[in-house]
Amino acid sequence: MSEPLVEPKIRVAGGTEHSWCKAVPGGTGVTVLTLLLSKNPDIPLLQNTLHKLQNTHPILKSKLHFNPNTNTFSYITPSTPHLQIQLFDLSSTSEILRGIIDLDPTTNTTSVSNFHLILEHELNRNTWSNPDRSTETDVDLFFASVYTLSADKWAVALRLHTSVCDRTTAVSLLRELMRLMCAKNEEGAEKENEEEVEVRLGIEDYVPSGKGNKPIWARGVDMLGYSLNSLRLSNLNFKDIQSPRSSQVIRLQINADDTQKILYGCHAKDIKLCALLAAAGLIAACSSKCLPDCHWEKYAVVTLIDCRSILDPVLNTDDHGFYHSAVLNTHDLNGGEDLWELAKRTHNSYTNAKHNNKHFSDMSDVNFLMCKAIENPGLTPSSSLRTALISVFEDPVIDQSDPPLHEKLGLVDYIGCASSHGVGPSIAIFDTIRDGQLDSACVYPSPLHSREQMQMLIDEMKRILVEGATT
């Protein structure tokens, strides 16, 4: 007898999830994890492992449904996983790489690796772009591809819709994938112990009682303040405001000795790393414009906060979905700022906002303004959709290599980040402390900003951080 048909489960997207569903079609919010391997991956094993992860975390096997009658998004979760890995042999991978270089010849002059180009290619494979808003549509939220880079190098790419995959989910997914792949390779593979859980609700449903409340008059004042401030914000110089945009990435890497000095300085001054990174970015951006003396400019910083540990009930890293909130602060600069003084100011701004629960009470305001910018690009400078200079995460990812595990997989390198060429900042920093070294993926919109321009900016940030750590 055939098994009885199990009806899929349906949940309407929450407010924050809805804003990401609006943002992703325009190019912001495609999350990508890429792994560089020196061993040909076992495709059936990888496929089965991804299905196991989808069953363990059912939001990952959901489809995104749009209802044009109600203008709402929903997650439809079937009982069985359906992800199929897309394979690219050496010939098709080479063709993709040639196409990337033809579109952006600067990749040849800046020695960008093929692995790096595949990451950027995946960031811009937007399955969710330009949806037909006149009909009901269902689309997968999780995709996987394997690229053959050479006779002894492969790239595995996992691509997800950010509404179901914030940075914490991405890190958890990557670690669980590697552990399961190695466990299955071991003699006497681990027993199947999948226990499917319910798809969690959106972040708004877990905000502690009273923390998200705001009087109507206060909401109106804050919305007006955000709107007026946005008109006064400065940006990096734009290079090309007309051409179609894509996301590109530059890595900010600092050796272990200098990283430890930076972290020690943060600890000694009671400043989080995110504030120091933001301060270095602000100073580098301001100095790149060669402003006259005593000329002040206002820049915005967005700090992303993982709220899992402060929700009700408390969630953990295994609760996959999007559970970050954003705090937006502005800072006035005239080009003569001290790194640590500005970092302290940046740190105090977002911690004060957090202390006053603005990461909860302003959640709907920030989402509303993001959606308004998407619908009306002309409200932003040069229709650039830039809402801030820089975005940072409150806490870095701390990653310690596992040599035996990496050897089994043939893992050479890995990068995770999300696209940002729709609405968003000029620089989105995804920072990791990997084996004691700072390794950050810095995502920016191209050709609004050029690769050469951003490489110079990131190099200047690195110089500012390293020199500042010795003072």
| pLDDT one digit per residue (tens) for the chain, 471 residues | 455 556 778 999 999 999 999 999 999 999 999 999 999 999 999 999 999 999 999 999 999 999 888 889 999 999 899 899 999 999 999 999 998 887 777 776 667 899 999 999 999 999 998 655 555 678 999 999 999 999 999 999 999 999 999 999 999 999 999 999 888 655 444 445 555 567 889 999 999 998 877 656 555 555 555 555 666 788 999 999 999 999 999 999 999 999 999 999 999 999 999 999 999 999 999 988 877 777 889 999 999 999 999 999 999 999 999 999 999 999 999 878 899 999 999 999 999 999 999 999 889 888 988 998 899 898 888 999 999 999 999 999 999 988 888 999 999 999 999 999 999 999 999 999 999 999 999 999 999 999 999 999 999 999 999 999 887
Write out the DSSP string of 39-92. Answer: S---HHHHHHHHHHHHHHSGGGG-EEEEETTTTEEEEEE-SS-----EEE-HHH
- What's the CATH fold of domain 9-185? Chloramphenicol Acetyltransferase (3.30.559)
Token pair for 182: 């190695």
- Per-residue model confidence (pLDDT) at position 83: 94
CATH of the structural domain 204-469, one choice from 3.30.559.30, 3.20.20.70, 3.40.50.140, 3.40.50.300 = 3.30.559.30
Do residues 77 and 60 lie in contact, with contact meaning Cβ atoms separated by under 8 Å? no
As a dihedral over the C-alpha atoms of residue 217, residue 218, residue 219, residue 224, rounded to 10 degrees, the angle is 90
- How high is the pLDDT of residue 183? 80
First-residue to last-residue Cα distance in the chain: 75
Note the pLDDT of residue 189: 44
Which residues of the chain does CATH 3.30.559.10 include? 9-185
- Reading phi first (left if > 0) and then psi (alpha if -120 to 50, else beta), residue 121 is in alpha
Determine the length of the chain. 471
pTM of the prediction?
Answer: 0.93
pLDDT of res. 131: 58
Residues of the chain with CATH 3.30.559.30: 204-469
pLDDT at position 117: 96
Report residue 240 as tokens: 């090309």
Please tell me the distance from the alpha carbon of residue 425 to that of residue 275, in angstroms, as a whole number: 16
